[in-house]
Structure 1
Amino acid sequence: MTIPSVSVVIPAYNNAATLAETIDSVLEQEGIDFELIVADHSSTDGSDAVLDAYRHDPRVRVLTTPSGGGAERNWNRVTDEARGPLIKLVCGDDVLRPGILARQAELLDTTGAVLTACRRDVTDAEGKVLMPDWGLRGIATRMPGSRAAAKAVRAGSNLFGEPASVMMRRDALVRIGGWDATFPYLIDQATYSRVLLEGDFVPDTDTGATFRLSDSQWSAVLIAAQADQARRFHRWFHSEHPSVVSAWDLRIGNVRASVMARLRRLSYTVLRWRNR
């Protein structure tokens, strides 16, 4: 069996309204050999009926993940099935832009970096763009992965973006033990940071994906919880890797995580009001 250049994995959970758009955005990619693996985490909204339309496509494998275990279980379940040397995880309500797979694979192949990330458009639940070309603040040049991870801590936010923006080397992800949900709201950034200790970061400066904000992501309770987990993740990273994240990085990052949480809540409120 031929090994694909890239494995795209979708850990789906109650994404019936958006899943077809997500899958189609992957299948429409050109210029590279890829596989697509979708694992449905016991959805109850009819996602299985959406997936039925793709079960006979030779590029697609559809799996079922038993209930329980949260995002970590399904993200690792679908990732464990990947065969390509490069991997991109796409959540079941996000969308890839044309050309992103071939472009990011070439970046990793030509530079030898372990991880790349692109800018993305942030949209509301209906797909209306709220924040265009978002991301890569302060990390728009190639650098050691440890430096990029430390910059994200110091910024108090996930500079790399959601998984649809990111492509990484699968062997590096395997070496660090897969997706880690010790800090559930930071499962993506915490995992990227550990992968980045394995090699360089190279940016993809194009806008290559869209991230859809759900109604729940506007809540003050959720934003506060994310900020708390960010501070705890910073403390953990400093404790485990003090040569990467300094005490000064930790202090600045924790302050900025709190400030960013307030600004995020204010920004979301303004954006929702403007887009009524």
Structure 2
Amino acid sequence: MKFSIVITTYNRLALLKRAIDSALNQTVSCEVVVADDCSSDETEEYVRALSASLVQQGDDRLVYYRNQSNQGHSMTMNAGVAAASGDWIKPVDDDDYLAVNCIEEMIKAITTYQTKVNQNSSLQAVICSCQSAQVDPNGLELSRTRISGPGTVYYIPQEDIHYGMLLEQVPFGTPIQVAYRRDAFLNSGGWDSSLDINCDDIDSWIKIAQFGDAIFINQCLAYRTIWPGAYNQKISLEKRLDANILIKEKIYHRVHQKHHIRLPNLEHIRDYLKLHWSIVALKKAKLRNACYFCSTSVFSLQGWKLLLSSILNRKQPASKLKQIFRENKEAEVLVKKNILIE
């Protein structure tokens, strides 16, 4: 099994250096592809010089790819994957970075899954996710993605993935948390540039998940930087809500038929999302947005129930969360099908 770490970047050399260091310093040696979206700073000079220096030392792991013109995050990720040679891809944005044992732990989880869990099935794991810490620009931890499911490592059968994503019980999360099989990514069509930096990652997980099972590691193996200059902070709340609804609709229509009897109404899910984003708008002191988002959904009892369930799940401590995961009837089928690996 070969991993390629694909780092997408654009005009953020100071941050990129940290991401490259975290990739090259992994406890398991792997290819590192820097996919540059035609940066105008000194990114090209730095990466080419570093690659040449490593080659002189007999290390040819660092690969540099540069777009001929600025094409956006999604197209740059697609180009980086095309330039990679690994069986598995670990995407990294230039402002994020990895724990030194990230790839090692993912390989262990995937190998264990292949040898112990899925011996008698034609399906294979195509996506793997882990906990990540959200840190400020100085590296101070602000929060951490929640523990999900039973055990340190557990798997989710393909037929249960989209149902779990719909009800937010399967936290694949941002690119820094996720790794995926290169062939599944290519077969899915890659990242959709029409969604650039606005749920293009989640859209990709939805499509990749149709090709096999998922693995989740309840261990913090990655770090996501939260800062005012992040690209997604520049997207309006209206566009973020619209993208969120679009993504949920895509997931909804891929839910396996075995779960259809317990599916919430799609309109109730839209109501939940509108209520959620109205609260986000209130926190940002955007009263007009808040009123507009919840103008009709405020009267949706089912929307409020879904919102409350989501809030409670996110705030539960680890022990409580595992208990809820087992007891919640909506998650019952996942618990029965999930096989504890460790």
TM-score (norm 2): 0.68
1:9 partner letter: V
Using the TM superposition, give the Cα deviation of residue 49 of structure 1 relative to its aligned residue in structure 2, in angstroms: 3.9
Using the TM superposition, give the Cα deviation of residue 36 of structure 1 relative to its aligned residue in structure 2, in angstroms: 0.6
Question: Helix, strand or coil: the match of 2:35?
Answer: strand
1:130 partner letter: L
1:261 and 2:261 aligned: no
Counterpart selection for 1:236 from 250, 257, 260: 250
Question: Helix, strand or coil: the match of 1:55?
Answer: helix
Contact 2:37 2:69 in 1 (8 A): yes
1:79 and 2:75 aligned: no
Distance 2:31 2:265 in 1: 39
Using the TM superposition, give the Cα deviation of residue 211 of structure 1 relative to its aligned residue in structure 2, in angstroms: 0.6
Match of residue 46 from structure 1: 42
Question: Which structure shows the bigger proportion of residues in helix conformation?
Answer: 2
Match of residue 13 from structure 1: 10
Using the TM superposition, give the Cα deviation of residue 148 of structure 1 relative to its aligned residue in structure 2, in angstroms: 2.6
Distance 2:267 2:256 in 1: 13
Match of residue 157 from structure 2: 144
Distance 1:82 1:102 in 2: 19
Contact 1:120 1:210 in 2 (8 A): yes
Inter-CA distance 96–236: structure 2 relative to 1 (3 Å threshold): same
Matches of residues 54-69 of structure 1 in structure 2 within 5 Å?
A: 54-56=50-52, 57=54, 58-69=60-71
1:186 partner letter: C
Using the TM superposition, give the Cα deviation of residue 221 of structure 1 relative to its aligned residue in structure 2, in angstroms: 5.2
Inter-CA distance 135–264: structure 2 relative to 1 (3 Å threshold): farther
Match of residue 134 from structure 2: 122
Question: Helix, strand or coil: the match of 2:33?
Answer: strand
1:91 and 2:112 aligned: no
Match of residue 214 from structure 2: 201
Using the TM superposition, give the Cα deviation of residue 250 of structure 1 relative to its aligned residue in structure 2, in angstroms: 3.2
1:114 partner letter: V
Match of residue 22 from structure 2: 25
1:189 and 2:191 aligned: no
Match of residue 36 from structure 1: 32
Using the TM superposition, give the Cα deviation of residue 27 of structure 1 relative to its aligned residue in structure 2, in angstroms: 0.7
Contact 2:161 2:170 in 1 (8 A): no
TM-score (norm 1): 0.83
Provide, for residues 167-226 of structure 1, a one-character-per-residue CA deviation record: whole Å limited to 9, x for no partner: 111111121122223433111111011111111111111001011123145858544422
Contact 1:227 1:257 in 2 (8 A): yes
Greater C-alpha Rg: 2
Contact 2:75 2:193 in 1 (8 A): no
Distance 2:155 2:6 in 1: 26
Contact 1:72 1:180 in 2 (8 A): yes
Contact 2:126 2:214 in 1 (8 A): yes
Match of residue 266 from structure 2: 250
Distance 2:88 2:139 in 1: 28
2:241 partner letter: A
Provide, for residues 72-125 of structure 1, a one-character-per-residue CA deviation record: whole Å limited to 9, x for no partner: 210100000111111111111101002110110221222142111111111223
Question: Helix, strand or coil: the match of 1:78?
Answer: helix
Match of residue 145 from structure 2: 134
Contact 1:76 1:179 in 2 (8 A): yes
Mean CA deviation greater in 58-67 or 210-219: 210-219
Using the TM superposition, give the Cα deviation of residue 20 of structure 1 relative to its aligned residue in structure 2, in angstroms: 0.5
Q: What stretches of structure 2 of length at least 5 have no aligned partner?
A: 55-59, 115-124, 286-342
Inter-CA distance 19–154: structure 2 relative to 1 (3 Å threshold): same
Question: Helix, strand or coil: the match of 1:236?
Answer: helix
Q: What stretches of structure 1 of length at least 5 have no aligned partner?
A: 270-276
Provide, for residues 53-80 of structure 1, a one-character-per-residue CA deviation record: whole Å limited to 9, x for no partner: 4222221011111224321210100000
1:105 and 2:118 aligned: no
Match of residue 323 from structure 2: none
Using the TM superposition, give the Cα deviation of residue 5 of structure 1 relative to its aligned residue in structure 2, in angstroms: 1.1
Contact 2:5 2:91 in 1 (8 A): yes
